[in-house]
Chain A
């Protein structure tokens, strides 16, 4: 089953003083399978939030169609099975956390008794158990993000759409959000989230899409996109005299880094590694570590951004 599908989805806005029609999303064709955790990457202004708003019916498409859980997005009832956390969420600040969640539950059509149980459980899950009766105006940014996540999870939706869920959070907050997403994944739910915090995406996603200038530049499984090939090998050697370090420097891709008696060499492949290891041992040195380096999502993302800028 497809959790999300778009066909030729386009969005134009009228921008500037003359209100010129500007296309911010170009013929997006995207599918997300049910149960996947999909990371939607892109620099600021790439069209990530516009895509999410199109999926939720907050903005209307200029062309193309979209489906959530195999129902066309024009029908409001499709959103009964979807939870959404907007970017930098803003809520009625005079409500308490519990009142806000109760309002969300009423709008979602959740029966009162079930809502009460769910609210208590969700507050516990997002670590706001003691803050449920506090007004939202007194919440910190991290707490607002967490109450936003809690409202997105009301009614146990099979599809959760999160817009920059880690944005503005400290490392602890980011880890908590990551853990919640991983838990949703373990429960078999589909999570579609936009982000520009690449290490987080790399850590938790099955598939990623990279959006550049309103166009989907790359999409696929992480292992497909990044490949399994080793790009380089980092070798750390200890106790080498300076002339030997200089001699071995010719094998490396970049000048070796020397600090506190340790020399770090970045080498292209096995042949160079063999030569270096042999020479280090001959010279009376010791090998501290050998680390193969694979291409990361960050490198792929930056390469795509650079390629996009050239285009």
Chain B
């Protein structure tokens, strides 16, 4: 009940944030403008739209998760609005979880709006619905939830600017970690291999959540890929949120 109240308030606050609308408009414009590329290409028009559309959903989602996520806790402390909230019978873990759910809901609504835009455009081009895109959207959403949890984790102990830098680093390293490890295995020395292995244990391999190529080109993913990816994402999500709760529980709200 209390978590729901905090989540709903975080959602309300995000909905009133102009940055959200700017990013959403940017994403829809990006999806819409892919029509121009379609005219320049020969064959595979709808695939270009789908590819670009999934990219736009992911990019804009990442920007929302990072830039709204890093302010979720720190802004409450800076504005001193947190005093009247935490003076209620709420434990700190509930606050973190409520904030996470609030931004998760904001992202869900945004991803849904962008997905409807993309599916509608694909329908206009192909004359049919493209449900094969939905697993890609689902995993992109899980990746966004992971980044939201990372943003909350960092913002629990550092400034919003540093939190944004750290969260974007998680995104970049997470997307490249698989390639880096493969490169280190093939060409690197013992040091690089150890570094790549160490990083792969700490950072989530976010490339696992990017299946847009397979979805757009209808490539087989292998049975159990999506449930396994969901489990993998869930495990990291629990880890990030537990760390955020543990840090926030020891913090003085000065």
Contact = CB atoms under 8 A, between A and B. Distances in A.
Are these two chains actual partners, yes or no?
A: yes
Given A107-B5, A108-B89, A53 B253 contact: yes
B217 interface: no
A58 B84 contact: no
A60 interface: yes
Nearest to A78: B89
Contacts of B13: 92, 94
Given A59-B252, A84-B84, A92 B91 contact: no
Contact of A107 (B16, B81, B88, B250): B88
B21 interface: no
B89 A77 contact: yes
Given A58-B253, A106-B2, A90 B80 contact: yes
Contacts of B9: 92, 103
B39 interface: no
A84 B253 CA distance: 15
B89 A58 contact: no
B123 interface: no
A209 interface: no
Interface residues of A, number: 29
A151 interface: yes
Contact of A76 (B6, B83, B89, B252): B89
Contacts of B84: 84, 86, 89, 91, 104, 148, 151
A269 interface: no
B85 interface: yes
19 contacts: A53-B253, A58-B83, A76-B90, A80-B88, A82-B87, A84-B83, A84-B84, A89-B84, A91-B84, A92-B9, A92-B81, A94-B12, A94-B16, A103-B9, A104-B84, A106-B1, A107-B2, A107-B5, A108-B89
Interface of A: 13, 53, 56-60, 76-80, 82, 84, 86, 88-92, 94, 103-104, 106-109, 148, 151
